[in-house]
Each structure stands twice: as structure tokens, then as C-alpha cells.
Amino acid sequence: MEHFKNPRNIGVIENPTAIIQVGDPDCGDTLLLSLKIKKDRVVDIKYKVYGCAAAIATSSIASEMAMGKTLNEVLKIDEKAITKALGGLPGEKNHCSNLAAGALRGAINEYRKSALKRA
């Protein structure tokens, strides 16, 4: 409930290094995630989320878990780690942790693809 009532890192980074929007068509939740990456490390992270309390909480905790980590460390943040960090989720809300974890992976994968094109 803490991350729902007091979500962290809300917003959009100006001139992000990576940005991605993901959604869950079954429930209507949408997450816009922006990252600032320097030297293979997340130095800033912001998000905007449209969804239920669990979507807000999982986005908030995922942003805190990723802040300051290397990209390889962030890729290890999965839905189970997010759910555990929150102290659990109701079974019908586990898909919200999938949304947050998928956004992290997707943003990093897009960043790496664009870095290869620039090289």
C-alpha cells in the first residue's frame, strides 16, 4: 500500500536515453517508462502509469529497484522479485508485476538495439 499511496519516480525524463510504452490489453493498464543511462547504468528513471493500485505500486517499486543498477542487474529484476519487494500481491494482480518487469526489459533491449545502430 505504501507504494500505491506514495509512488516514487513519477514523470517523464526530458531527453531520455530509453523510453518504452507497454500495456496489458486484458485489464487496460498502461505504463510509460523512461530511463537515463550513463556508462551502462540507470542514473534516472521515471514512469507514468494508468491502471489499478497494483499497477501503480509495481511501477513504483520497480523504478526504485532499477535506480543506480547496471543494465545487466536491471535485466535480472523479474516479476517475482517485484512481487516479493512489495510483500506480495493478490493472485489476480500478479500481471501488474509482469507489466513493470516487461517494461524494464523492453526499455533496455531498445536502448541496446539503438546503441548497436549508432556504433
Of 19, 27, 67, 81, the catalytic one is: 27
- Residue 117 belongs to a domain: no
Residue 52 designated active-site: no
Residue 80 within a domain: yes
Which amino acid would we find at residue 47?
Answer: Y
Q: What is the pTM of this model?
A: 0.89
96 is catalytic: yes
- CATH of residue 24's domain is 3.90.1010.10
Query: Can you list the positions of beta strands (E) in 25-114?
Result: 29-38, 41-50
Does residue 87 lie in a domain region?
yes
Domain count of the fold of the chain: 1
pLDDT tens, residue order, the chain (119 aa): 676 777 889 999 999 999 999 987 777 889 999 999 999 999 999 999 998 888 999 999 999 999 999 999 999 999 999 999 999 987 888 777 889 999 999 999 999 998 777 76
